[in-house]
């Protein structure tokens, strides 16, 4: 007798670093988990306790080195002042390159799209980001809340965290799931 198998949950890895923007990390984590996405937070530091730019300490699920070699449906990079430290972290840059080369999603918000630039995956792509990095990202779409181009999804900053997170859910789980989550938190897709 054949049994019907359940579809596997989608997965997302959110990388946290000191001085990350708390809203830009917690909002996608929360909304992705509400949608049933297996969302793992990884610290790029040597501790799982990471302090954000506003002094809020978040305990990551694991260290970044502990998830090396695992495939993710989506990689999420929160912004804030700490995102600049990720620019020189070859582990992060390699993850970004592997995701894009594999046709898997990479999402970056606020200043984090500069990480994508440094990884060399933005050529010819439409993106948005925080105005603080506009000089580094020529052609930046500075009026758009969320921009998707191929496997790359970008957003402008803390104020666009909810639309950004809902766009991630829509991409991974479909429009109806994003709409369901939006209604449950009293907003729109």
- Point out the residues that are catalytic: 110
Instruction: Kindly state the DSSP code that residue 74 receives in the 8-state scheme.
Output: E
Of all helices (H) and strands (E), which one includes residue 13?
strand 11-16
Residue 157, token pair as written in the block: 């900053």
Helices (H), 7-121: 22-34, 83-86, 90-101, 113-119
Beta carbons within 8 Å of 142's beta carbon, 6+ residues apart: 128, 131, 134, 156
Spatial separation of the C-alpha atoms in residues 141 and 157, rounded to whole Å: 13
């Amino acid at each position: 007798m054949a049994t019907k198998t359940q579809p596997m949950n989608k997965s997302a890895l959110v990388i946290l670093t000191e001085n990350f923007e708390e809203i830009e990390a917690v909002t996608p984590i929360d909304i992705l988990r509400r949608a049933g996405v297996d969302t793992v937070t990884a610290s790029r530091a040597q501790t799982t306790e990471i302090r954000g730019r506003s002094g809020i300490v978040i305990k990551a699920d694991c260290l970044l080195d502990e998830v090396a070699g695992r495939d993710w449906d989506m990689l999420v990079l929160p912004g804030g002042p700490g995102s600049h430290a990720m620019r020189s972290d070859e582990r992060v840059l390699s993850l970004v390159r592997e995701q894009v080369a594999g046709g898997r999603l990479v999402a970056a918000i606020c200043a984090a799209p500069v990480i994508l630039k440094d990884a060399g995956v933005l050529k010819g792509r439409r993106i948005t980001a925080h105005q603080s990095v506009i000089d580094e990202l020529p052609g930046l779409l500075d009026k758009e809340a969320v921009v998707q181009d191929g496997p790359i999804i970008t957003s402008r900053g803390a104020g666009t965290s909810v639309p950004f997170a809902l766009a991630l859910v829509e991409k991974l789980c479909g429009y109806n799931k994003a709409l369901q989550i939006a209604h449950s938190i009293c907003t729109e897709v």
